[in-house]
């Protein structure tokens, strides 16, 4: 049966830190496996060691890089202060508060037997709960593969309790195996006028890179076979089905997506024409349709109706006929003359 203070701390963690409470709760579970007879101070420290992250404020430290020692120190010190203040609100004994604060201050590195227990529990919980999160950081471009690899190595190697390290080894090896399957290439490209440098997995399409790593969801994913045109965009001024182009193939390219058409708070002539002519129904196909039309007007400023239909032949609309879409492109061509 947990003490009243441990139960209160568990509720506090879940209430105040919901998006990562599983890591702290798991830290306590791991502590109970590696040191089932430890003190309440050690258990409270394991359960609350990251709580400063649940309380944003001007004094909250920001990590420049993974493993930034100044961040680790500031994070640990701030957590100790916040946990200590909470314990005082609960009426905890002064000696217990001092012990918990001291342990939280060194939870990243350990230093004496009880501190090593907290540190080991933190590492074990991280390896169980946070591997997928850090792999996603590679996909989003937040951290490089090398940085995340260092984080995994450091988390495992800092465990100083031998039987805890043995428990951690299978999770560590699994994490490294997953990482090995995520080899990436550094790709520099320009998207809608903004220079970007991303770690891109060799098998990811340009469509996936734009949507998943840059959040440019205007480019739609539908057939994934180059048949529907929903993912059309411009690469170096040419119309491309982005589902058929690998992200690494776009290295050094200038890419224009539908998000890049509007400028200075004004829609592009094509976008205005599609709205004016009521050419939009569900809207799913429209970004690709507009980008194909953009390429058409770049290469043929005064297309005939037949040429417009031919220029949009690779774009499917499943809602309606194409008459209003064709009218919109023709209207945009006339608007460009004005």
The pLDDT tens digits of the residues spanning 126-156 come to 999 999 999 988 877 788 888 999 999 999 9
Looking at per-residue pLDDT, the higher value among 114 and 281 belongs to 114
Instruction: Render pLDDT for 197-226 as a digit per residue (tens, 0 to 9).
Output: 998 888 899 999 999 999 999 999 999 999
224 sits in the region (left: phi over 0; alpha: psi -120 to 50; else beta) called left
Task: Give the mean model confidence (pLDDT) for residues 93-101.
Answer: 98
> Own/partner pairs for 9-12, CB < 8 Å, 24+ apart?
9/44, 9/47, 9/48, 10/47, 12/48, 12/51, 12/86
Q: Inform me whether the pLDDT recorded for 177 exceeds 70.
A: yes
Task: Give the mean model confidence (pLDDT) for residues 151-170.
Answer: 98
Q: What is the pLDDT of residue 95?
A: 98
H helical segments located in 181-313: 206-208, 269-276, 286-299, 305-311
CA distance 218 to 262: 13
Contact between 241 and 226 (Cβ < 8 Å): yes
Instruction: Render pLDDT for 52-94 as a digit per residue (tens, 0 to 9).
Output: 999 999 999 998 888 899 999 999 999 999 999 999 999 999 9
Task: Give the mean model confidence (pLDDT) for residues 11-28.
Answer: 95
Task: Give the mean model confidence (pLDDT) for residues 331-336.
Answer: 88
Q: What is the pLDDT of residue 218?
A: 95
Pairing verdict, β 238-241 and 232-235: antiparallel
User: Across-strand partners of 240?
Assistant: 233
Instruction: Render pLDDT for 219-272 as a digit per residue (tens, 0 to 9).
Output: 999 999 999 999 999 999 999 999 999 999 999 999 999 999 999 889 999 999
Backbone angles phi, psi at 57, to 5 degrees: 180, 170
- What is the chain's mean pLDDT, rounded? 94
pLDDT band at 337, cuts 50/70/90?
Answer: low
Reduced to 3 states (helix: H, G, I; strand: E, B; else coil), residue 239 is: strand
pLDDT band at 185, cuts 50/70/90?
Answer: confident
Looking at per-residue pLDDT, the higher value among 325 and 185 belongs to 325
pLDDT band at 332, cuts 50/70/90?
Answer: very high
CA distance 138 to 4: 41
Please report the DSSP string for 240-272 in residue order: EEGGGSBGGGGTT-EEE-GGGT-BTTB--HHHH
In order of their start, the domains of the chain are 4-180 (1.10.3210), 185-260 (3.10.20.30), 269-337 (1.10.150.120)
Q: Inform me whether the pLDDT recorded for 41 exceeds 70.
A: yes
The whole model's pTM is what? 0.59
């Amino acid at each position: 049966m947990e003490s009243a203070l441990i139960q209160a701390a568990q509720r506090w963690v879940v209430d105040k830190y919901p998006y990562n409470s599983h890591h702290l709760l798991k830290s306590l579970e791991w502590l109970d496996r590696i040191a089932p007879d430890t003190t309440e101070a050690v258990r409270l420290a394991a359960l609350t060691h990251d709580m400063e992250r649940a309380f944003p404020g001007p004094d909250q430290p920001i990590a420049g890089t993974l493993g930034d020692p100044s961040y680790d120190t500031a994070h640990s010190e701030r957590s100790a202060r916040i946990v200590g203040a909470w314990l005082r609100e609960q009426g905890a004994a002064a000696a217990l508060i001092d012990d918990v604060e001291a342990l939280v201050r060194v939870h990243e590195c350990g230093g004496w037997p009880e501190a090593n227990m907290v540190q080991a529990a933190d590492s074990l919980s991280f390896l169980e709960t946070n591997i997928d999160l850090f792999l996603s950081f590679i996909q989003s471009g937040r951290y490089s593969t090398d940085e995340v690899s260092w984080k995994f190595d450091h988390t495992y190697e800092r465990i100083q309790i031998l039987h805890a390290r043995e428990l951690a080894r299978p999770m560590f090896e699994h994490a490294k195996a997953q990482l090995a399957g995520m080899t990436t290439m550094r790709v520099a490209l320009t998207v809608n006028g903004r220079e970007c440098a991303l770690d891109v997995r060799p098998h990811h399409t340009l469509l996936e890179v734009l949507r998943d790593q840059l959040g440019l969801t205007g480019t739609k994913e539908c057939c994934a076979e180059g048949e529907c045109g929903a993912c059309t965009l411009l690469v170096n001024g040419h119309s491309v089905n982005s589902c058929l182009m690998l992200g690494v193939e776009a290295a050094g390219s200038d890419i224009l997506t539908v998000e890049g058409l509007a400028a200075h708070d004004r829609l592009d002539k094509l976008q205005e024409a599609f709205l004016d002519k009521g050419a939009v129904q569900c809207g799913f196909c429209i970004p690709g349709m507009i980008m194909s039309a953009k390429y058409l007007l770049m290469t043929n400023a005064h297309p005939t109706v037949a040429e417009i239909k031919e220029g949009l032949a690779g774009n499917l609309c499943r809602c309606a006929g194409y008459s209003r879409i064709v009218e919109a492109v023709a209207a945009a061509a006339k608007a460009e003359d004005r």
